[in-house]
Amino acid sequence: MDYAASLEYLHALGWELRAGAKFELRQVAALLAELGDPQRAFAAVHVAGTNAKGSMAALLAAALQAAGYRTGLYTSPHLQRPTERIRIAGEEIAPAEFAAAMTAAAAATERLLARGTLPHPPSFFETLTAAGFWALRSAAVQLAVVEVGMGGRLDATNVLQPVAAAITPVGLDHEKYLGATLAAIAGEKAGILKPGLAAVSSPQAPEAAAVLAARAQAAGARLLPPAEMLDAPVMDAEGRFSFRARYRGEAVRLRPGLRGRHQVENALTALRVLEVLSDNGWPVAAEAAAAGFANVAWPGRLEKLAAHPDVYVDGAHNPAAARALAAFLDEIGWRPVLVFGAMRDKASGEIAEILLPRARAVVLTAPGHPRALSPSALAAQFGAAEQVETAADLPRALARARELAATDGAPVLVTGSLYLVGEARALLAGASADTGEIAPSAGGEWGR
């Protein structure tokens, strides 16, 4: 298959879990076995959690690359194109390499179906995961940082036998699949814990922390706290923080390249993971950790895309992410013009309550997806503000937001669904949002 054909193949698999199918690891394990178990060719760091998984994975991969390892990164969802999910030595995989990986996965699937080993093709995310691991092996990576798609226990990535793991903050999201309480969701995230594994947990709500601790003990895994912070973080004018932390018995000064105080917490968790790796035969010097964190970039997370007026995007697609964004806005003192859109299955009313008091004006719109909540339905949830308007699509919403921001120099913030963030990145890069690529999806099968 060429690249276009590989995208068509993925389209045909569909983003949703097929009717009658259930979450299990048997399908992806069979596919990987047919491919020669590529996941065994490299050491892996597994990252689970609700929010900050992508930032955590990016911090770890950047530090490992700075330490001189040939590093792979497998993440989800993508914002504009599926090649974003697979990175080798910091670079997005080329379309031809992606097509080669998909061709191998598709051929293996056909053999399994012909033999009757599988009753139907693996899902979108199972196929992408197998192709991703195949690509990482083909690129001869030494270490790969792998982000869980959704949950953990039955996520397709949980075929790994990692050398270290991280669990980022657990919150309410994907309740239909993972459970309606923090305890239930934490139990699914804890499914990545395995005998002898050292996993570092970000600070958690008490309900989630108790479950993670109990599951770690039952699994024979070690659950470790983040690295120790040695002084108060100091924020610069761009919203980035610098601080000192303890690493392998010494002090190291860190300045993560990602904006927001929550990135301090992410960096401390990542730093402790690097300590675990160093203790397990993958040493990372303090200087490499600091350099990697400083140079890290991650799309769609308080990312600046334009100036005059400044335009930022941030995927605050659930209440916990919205609270982190609100804390950032409060601390830096911005009252942005908000461009907001959401999916129908998201807690957009609660997100509105969090973000509305921080906005100078709001332009409500909808990403180009059939499950998007209409601007008029969103308006009913946002209620009264200094100024709330609606726009049928993102180009018109962004144009109006820029007009409103021009009156007093306020920044524009595009947030909510990651579908909307992906469209904004394409639009502001001067490309069409409808490029023939596959739209973003959470964990490959559920839209955000």
Segment of 171-185, 280-294, 405-419 carrying the highest mean pLDDT: 280-294
- Which phi and psi (to 5°) does residue 307 adopt? -130, 160
pLDDT at 180: 78
Q: CATH number for the 303-428 domain, one of 3.90.25.10, 3.40.140.10, 3.40.50.300, 3.90.190.20? A: 3.90.190.20
Residue 96, classified by CB atoms within 10 Å of its CB into exposed (0-12), middle (13-18) or buried (19+), is exposed
pLDDT of residue 20: 53
Residue 429 pLDDT > 90: no
pLDDT at 437 over 50: no
Considering all CA atoms of the chain, what is the largest pairwise distance in Å, rounded to the nearest integer?
66
Q: What is the pTM of this model?
A: 0.91
Lowest mean pLDDT, pick from 93-107, 178-192, 291-305? 178-192
Q: Is the pLDDT of residue 431 over 70?
A: no
Q: How far apart are CA 362 and CA 353, in angstroms?
A: 13
Residue 189 to residue 223: CA distance in whole angstroms: 13
Q: What are phi and psi of 389, to 5 degrees?
A: -130, 170
Work out the average pLDDT over 248-258. Answer: 97
Report the C-alpha gap between 206 and 213 in whole angstroms: 10
What pLDDT, on a 0 to 100 scale, did the predictor assign at position 16?
A: 58
Percent of the chain with pLDDT over 70: 93
Sign of the four-CA dihedral 26, 88, 296, 347: negative
* Contact indicator for 173, 318 with CB cutoff of 8 Å: yes
Q: Is 252 or 317 the better-scoring residue by pLDDT? A: 252
Tell me the chain's radius of gyration from C-alpha atoms: 21
As a whole number, mean pLDDT of residues 60-77 equals 97
Give the model confidence (pLDDT) of 393-414 as tens digits. Answer: 999 999 999 999 998 999 999 9
Q: Which pLDDT belongs to residue 432?
A: 34
pLDDT for position 316? 86
Q: Please report the pLDDT score of residue 328 as a whole number.
A: 95
Confidence band, pLDDT 50/70/90 cuts, at residue 341: very high
Contact 163, 277 (CB under 8 A): yes
Asked if the model's pLDDT at residue 148 lies above 60, the reply is yes
> What single letter denotes the amino acid at residue 47?
V
DSSP-derived letter for residue 260 is S
Cα distance between residue 170 and residue 237, in whole Å? 29
Banded pLDDT at 22 (limits 50, 70, 90) = low
Q: What pLDDT does residue 398 have?
A: 97
Domains 3-295 and 303-428 agree in fold? no
Mean pLDDT of the residues in the chain:
91
Residue 221: its pLDDT value, please? Answer: 98
- Structure-token match 């599988």, residue found: 118
Count of beta carbons in the 10 Å neighbourhood of residue 194:
16
Share of the chain above pLDDT 90, in %: 77
Strand ranges across the sheet with 86-88: 91-92, 86-88, 71-74, 143-147, 43-48, 164-167, 198-201, 222-224
Structure tokens at 444: 């490959």
Extents of the domains making up the chain = 3-295, 303-428
Please give the C-alpha separations between residue 409 and each of 210, 306, 341, 359, 402, in angstroms, as whole numbers: 46, 13, 23, 13, 9
SS3 209: helix
Q: Which of 238, 31, 242 is nearest to 122 (CA)?
A: 31
Q: Which of 157-171, 252-266, 382-396 has the lowest mean pLDDT?
A: 382-396
Is residue 442 scored above 50 in pLDDT? Answer: no
Output the six-digit token pair for 270.
Answer: 């990542």
The yes/no answer on whether domain 3-295 falls in CATH 3.40.1190.10 is: yes
Of 194-203, 241-250, 383-392, the range with the lowest mean pLDDT is 383-392
The pLDDT value given to residue 150: 87
Task: Name the residue among 65, 76, 49, 168 with its Cα closest to residue 131.
Answer: 76
